[in-house]
Chains A and B, each alone.
Chain A
């Protein structure tokens, strides 16, 4: 399918489909709406597959490029294209959305058509973020994406949903406004909103520093980094299952993507200037947050904190490159770190998505997220317990699961930057296992804790399908990460090369 505008299809099919569901769904029977939503999401997934199969592994150039004039007065174009960094994230988005639609199948009763429509629209916008090559187009998708998520938390969320939704919105909105300022500055400086032009624009060090801070505010909130992470646990706890899954699996990745697409290539010297801070913040996230996760009493809150800690590996892998280059004098380790960070993003999409779905399975039955309300779930839900065990182990980065690959590569790479950096990063082996397994022990193992647990029924066919699909992804990526790493290889190598080349005029 070389002639189809695949990226546009992946963006607009779910958006148009979602709008159609939204307007036609009020009168349609609930089941028909669900089926339509499923068909739209599956179709989008299928359209994203040729992006992978037709992807040229040998080049770091943008592929599947589409370019149309949009607002010619300001030279704003509808410019799409993907490289090896964007592609895995797009496939992750389309894959996860199918699962989220399935996950909401029987659970959402309240305004179901609006629920599905919101997720479909959100899917299109998220793909747009990853595919946009024009800064304004990117910014539009970036901000527009907040609205459906705000609605998802605010409408279908838990008791404190309004507080959480506002906190989420304000936090991320505030961050991204600074990014807009940065992008406008770049436009006035270089005369183009094209992101690839911005990559080539020489900039003075002071400008780079300011731009880095502007980008940092947007992306660090999104990913999130310590200390701007506190919106995440609140948002996760209050969000419905599907919202949590999208939030953890994809939205957080936009922070990492932003660092890779904007911060590093546009302001490499600025990034270099701040790399020490970034590495330090990443390590704080990894170590500090594991302790915080240890004492959480709410399962979703615990997994949310675990996400922050895992995202610490992403930022560590990304920003360790300077130090690795300096210490080892070759790009090998830098490539390894950045690859590790990328793989960690994809893996975390599967693993945290799966864990939130697992909590969702329990919440649907018991209407509680409190760890203390559970105990001995394995007695009544053995299939669920086995699948959750796999995801829990993936969360502990057990080899042969996807969770291992990213952390392994980042730790190996950071050893080249300094022994103590690797040492601190590796503490997650013990501490990460501690909080995850302790939660699993209290929830799943043990004798049946109460009558509610005794009355649980095991997961049905639909839930099994979702979790098994994720299990396959987690295992496949762990046993054989080469197909993923090969896709991003050329782009990562190119990016590392650009990053270490100064852009000072």
Chain B
């Protein structure tokens, strides 16, 4: 088992090293083979381990790989903890990663950075596995920042585009704000628990729960509340919760496969995973859980609304991701950690599917991403159409699809939660269902149905397109010259779509009972007895068929169908109506199009503020005060005195040195004299 776990982690790393450092030697095919084989090996072993631990019920295990450092009597180690939560994450991550690797062969076919891309995504898989398999906070932090690094590299993959290199820096810095919280949280954990190992820390929880910490003068806060809030700041950045969500929409500048892998299915769920992993801590702080609920509910609802007005196909899906991450966060806040992981898993399948489907559309239209210039693609791309339909239905929680079970469970869990914030969170996630259905099918109908709006794409838009990608030496303009009607994508693209469509349909029904009723995650997740949401959920749940029958007439389903029908009316049947509505609701629309002004606010306050502060400190602090008055002023003073005294012809710096030395000698004489006495 230990060897298998080690291979799971190291196989993608090996692939990344070979493809990255020896890309020229192994060639394009070599690069994709070595990384795909590495990730495939990881997936196979993860599946085997999932079978052994999650299904056959073998004991979870933990071991330390090597001693990183010893400081004082504290051993910092790199090691693994493999339990049911871990194996689930490992399987999801390696599965989606494998699919994305295969898909990339088709998507990045013409790109000169082919090997580099494979190296990055394999490196990402390694980092993500290090993160989820860790048995301690140090390694968690390593994986946490490592996935951030790869995300940075991949968002800026097309490094000649100004927007891409702005987006990647923004992503890194916003994530660093989260890391800042996470690191302080870890520091407090170490300070009070005396260890960074999960098991040691969790064992110390009863003791920690009694402690308080003085952060602001005269105010004692519960230690675990402070720790959990700090850790949650980390989760907010990584899982893009408001107000640290601003980097995720911009991250769409990266190539589509990584939007699917990193910015939808896996990396952004690291925050959700981390909070679930830390459930023994969060369960002891109702304050933290309330904050989690509020943040998650706000994100789920407000970011869904923004999705309604986006016109870039990838950005619509990105805002949908934000909103769905909000759902998962809400589940965490309601202490239904298993449900959050359940939605994380189904979401990984259908959101990766939607992104890869969007990518398929984008290639077919020669890198057109504006949905106003799409439409009627169903005839040209039947497989993409069908798989995207499945993905969209799963996303809106249509009965019997995977998303139906997980999303319903979240809504029910919040309903059962007793926390003060749960009531409002419930309303938010419930209305979010309508919004989700509306933006999902707005996208779907605008892309695949209605009149084709891409004719003349080549004639009219080459210019605009070229302007948009100005300076792009790595663009995909090669395809533009001979663009006929859109064609269905090749098999390396469509097969991954189909492979993801299957679990998007069935994963929910298969896993529902185990996770919702039978406490699948076992000891990996701890729930305080006062937090009964998950328990009540389990009591209500019988099996997937009963849940399905019950769900058919439940409010969420009705809302989803209502959203779907509205989208159908507005964007298929009466396509002229949305323009009229836009005029009527001009103000709210403006707010949404500006995305509530977060970007402008951050740029003004933090961007401008930091540069302004730097300017002042640099010119006034260092320039005028220290150098001007202090250093050169001293020199001038010495010069002035020596000039007055006509000791030497003034003006040469070495005279100042002379003056200083004399002063020092006087001092020296004084000291020696003083001691001699």
A253 at the B interface (CB under 8 A): no
- A328 and B213 CA atoms in complex are apart in Å by 13
- Name the segment of A22-30, A47-55, A73-81, A422-430 touching the other chain: A422-430
Tell me how far the C-beta of A450 lies from the nearest C-beta in chain B, rounded to whole angstroms.
13
- Name the segment of A12-20, A244-252, A332-340 touching the other chain: A332-340
Q: Which residue of B lies closest to A419 (CB)?
A: B215
Contacts of A396 in B (CB 8 A): 176
- A400 and B146: CB pair below 8 A? yes
- A333 and B621 CA atoms in complex are apart in Å by 34
Contacts of A45 in B (CB 8 A): none
- CB within 8 Å for A481 and B146 given contacts A177-B661, A178-B664: no
A32 at the B interface (CB under 8 A): no
- B142 and A430: CB pair below 8 A? no
Contact flags A438-469 to B (C-beta < 8 A → 1, else 0): 10010011111000000000000000000000
- A339 and B70 CA atoms in complex are apart in Å by 10
- A337 and B153 CA atoms in complex are apart in Å by 32
- A188 and B675: CB pair below 8 A? yes
- A431 and B180 CA atoms in complex are apart in Å by 11
- A295 and B68: CB pair below 8 A? no
Tell me how far the C-beta of B219 lies from the nearest C-beta in chain A, rounded to whole angstroms.
12
Tell me how far the C-beta of A356 lies from the nearest C-beta in chain B, rounded to whole angstroms.
20
- B610 and A336: CB pair below 8 A? no
Q: Which residue of B lies closest to A405 (CB)?
A: B69
Contacts of B146 in A (CB 8 A): 398-400
- B617 and A481: CB pair below 8 A? no
- B70 and A447: CB pair below 8 A? no
The one of B611, B618, B621, B657 that contacts A170, using a Cβ cutoff of 8 Å: B657
Interface centre among B70, B215, B617 (most CB of A within 10 A): B617
- CB within 8 Å for A482 and B622 given contacts A422-B184, A434-B173, A434-B610: no
- CB within 8 Å for A398 and B145 given contacts A181-B667, A292-B621, A294-B614: yes
- A379 and B622 CA atoms in complex are apart in Å by 36
Tell me how far the C-beta of B212 lies from the nearest C-beta in chain A, rounded to whole angstroms.
12
- A170 and B660: CB pair below 8 A? yes
- A415 and B187: CB pair below 8 A? yes
- A184 and B471 CA atoms in complex are apart in Å by 66
- A486 and B71 CA atoms in complex are apart in Å by 8
Interface centre among B73, B183, B626 (most CB of A within 10 A): B183
- B631 and A167: CB pair below 8 A? yes
- A177 and B145: CB pair below 8 A? no
Contacts of A8 in B (CB 8 A): none
Contacts of A227 in B (CB 8 A): 626, 630
A144 at the B interface (CB under 8 A): no
The one of B180, B186, B627, B630 that contacts A412, using a Cβ cutoff of 8 Å: B186
Tell me how far the C-beta of B136 lies from the nearest C-beta in chain A, rounded to whole angstroms.
13
The one of A378, A430, A447 that contacts B177, using a Cβ cutoff of 8 Å: A430
- Report A275-299 residues with CB < 8 Å from chain B CB: 288, 291-296
- A415 and B621 CA atoms in complex are apart in Å by 29
- B179 and A429: CB pair below 8 A? yes
Contacts of A178 in B (CB 8 A): 664
Contact flags B589-633 to A (C-beta < 8 A → 1, else 0): 000000000000000000000110111011001100011001100
The one of B177, B613, B676 that contacts A291, using a Cβ cutoff of 8 Å: B613
- A493 and B615 CA atoms in complex are apart in Å by 42
A174 at the B interface (CB under 8 A): yes
- B74 and A332: CB pair below 8 A? yes
Q: Which residue of A lies closest to B471 (CB)?
A: A447
A120 at the B interface (CB under 8 A): no
A363 at the B interface (CB under 8 A): no
Q: Is the interface of B mostly helix, strand, loop or mixed?
A: helix
A34 at the B interface (CB under 8 A): no
Contacts of B141 in A (CB 8 A): 399, 408
Interface centre among B73, B159, B611, B630 (most CB of A within 10 A): B159
- B71 and A445: CB pair below 8 A? no
Q: Is the interface of A mostly helix, strand, loop or mixed?
A: helix
- CB within 8 Å for A485 and B70 given contacts A295-B611, A328-B191, A423-B184: yes
- B165 and A446: CB pair below 8 A? yes
Tell me how far the C-beta of B17 lies from the nearest C-beta in chain A, rounded to whole angstroms.
12
- B160 and A437: CB pair below 8 A? no
- A429 and B70: CB pair below 8 A? no
The one of A336, A393, A426 that contacts B72, using a Cβ cutoff of 8 Å: A336
- A431 and B617 CA atoms in complex are apart in Å by 14
A489 at the B interface (CB under 8 A): yes
Tell me how far the C-beta of B163 lies from the nearest C-beta in chain A, rounded to whole angstroms.
11
Residues of A within 8 A of B (CB): 166-167, 169-171, 173-174, 177-178, 180-181, 184-185, 188-189, 227, 230-231, 288, 291-296, 328, 331-333, 335-336, 339, 376, 378-379, 389, 393, 396, 398-400, 405, 408-409, 411-412, 415-416, 419, 422-423, 426-427, 429-431, 433-434, 437-438, 441, 444-448, 480-482, 485-486, 489, 493
Residues of B within 8 A of A (CB): 66-74, 141-142, 145-146, 149, 153, 156, 159-160, 162, 165-166, 169, 172-173, 176-177, 179-180, 183-184, 186-188, 190-191, 194, 213, 215, 471-473, 610-611, 613-615, 617-618, 621-622, 626-627, 630-631, 635, 653-654, 656-657, 660-661, 664, 667-668, 671-672, 675-676
A-B CB contact pairs (8 Å), 30 listed: A166-B654, A170-B653, A174-B660, A174-B664, A184-B668, A184-B671, A230-B627, A288-B617, A294-B611, A295-B611, A295-B615, A378-B159, A379-B160, A396-B176, A398-B145, A398-B146, A399-B146, A408-B183, A411-B183, A415-B188, A430-B177, A431-B610, A445-B165, A446-B162, A446-B165, A446-B471, A447-B473, A480-B66, A480-B68, A489-B70
Taking A291-B610, A294-B614 as known contacts, 11 extra A-B pairs with beta carbons closer than 8 A to each other, sorted by chain A number, are A170-B660, A177-B664, A332-B72, A332-B74, A408-B183, A412-B186, A415-B190, A434-B173, A437-B173, A447-B160, A481-B69
Closest 9 interchain pairs by CB? A447-B471, A415-B187, A295-B614, A294-B614, A291-B614, A399-B142, A335-B72, A445-B165, A188-B675
